[in-house]
Amino acid sequence: MAPSSTNRGRRRVVLLPLPYQGHINPMLRLAAALHSRGLAVTILHPETRAPDRRKLPADYRLVTIPDNIPPELAASEDIASFVFELNKNCAAPFRDYLTGALREEEGEDGRLAFVVADVDWYAPLSVARELGLAALALMTSSAARFLVYMAYPSLCRKSYLPVQGHRSRKLRIYAVEMVGDKVLEARPIANQQSCMCGLSDSALKKQT
């Protein structure tokens, strides 16, 4: 869809949400905040689960890029494989889009200011930075998950991760004491069953 004339000459931000509603909605709230500050908005989205253009504000631009995701993978609950496949397949189309946008940034779409991508879009974030664009990652999930991201390097340095030499598939749950992004201690929880109340019965069976 052609951009609105109200966007002509405005600096443009490109937003790349992950194709899950819980990730799209926070990105659209950020888009509204940026738009209110005078930025033109482009929503860049893989073809799989692309939002309905009619439900976006009239002067937002929606661009879809090919992802080549098999329908059975898109319909599955294998989120990790889906996200990995998206990153692998969308890196090149994302690069092509950004390269074209930079080449045409003096046109009616306005100058490209920066890119905001969901934190799980690690490949497109790398592409944007390689092209010299400011690229920001948006964490759309809870503060607890953010702490996991912050703790991961320290847990690897302390050899808690990856788990080595385990023969059992039984789930191990640790209580982690942190200060900032530093792990002070990680100790196994004795009553692990009580910590699994959020898991489904089928998930528990897979872990035991």
| Domain shared by 188 and 130, yes or no | no
19 upstream amide cis, omega within 30 of 0: no
Of the residues 109, 138, 167, the one at which a domain ends: 138
- C-alpha–C-alpha distance, residues 109 and 179, integer Å: 45
Of the residues 138, 168, 189, the one at which a domain ends: 138
Q: What is the DSSP letter of 200?
A: -
141-157 pLDDT tens trace:
877 777 777 787 787 78
Domains: count for the chain = 2
Domain that holds residue 149: 143-207
Predicted confidence (pLDDT) at residue 192 exceeds the cutoff of 70: no
Residue 199 is predicted with a pLDDT of 35
Of the residues 138, 156, 186, the one at which a domain ends: 138
106-135 pLDDT tens trace:
555 568 999 999 999 999 999 999 999 999
Q: What's 116's domain CATH number?
A: 3.40.50.2000
Residues with catalytic annotation?
23, 118
Mean pLDDT value across residues 79-99 = 94
DSSP string, 93-159: HHHHHHHHHHHTTTSTT--EEEEEEETT-HHHHHHHHHTT--EEEE--S-HHHHHHHHHHHHHHHTT
pTM (2 d.p.): 0.69
| Domain shared by 41 and 119, yes or no | yes
| Domain shared by 103 and 27, yes or no | yes
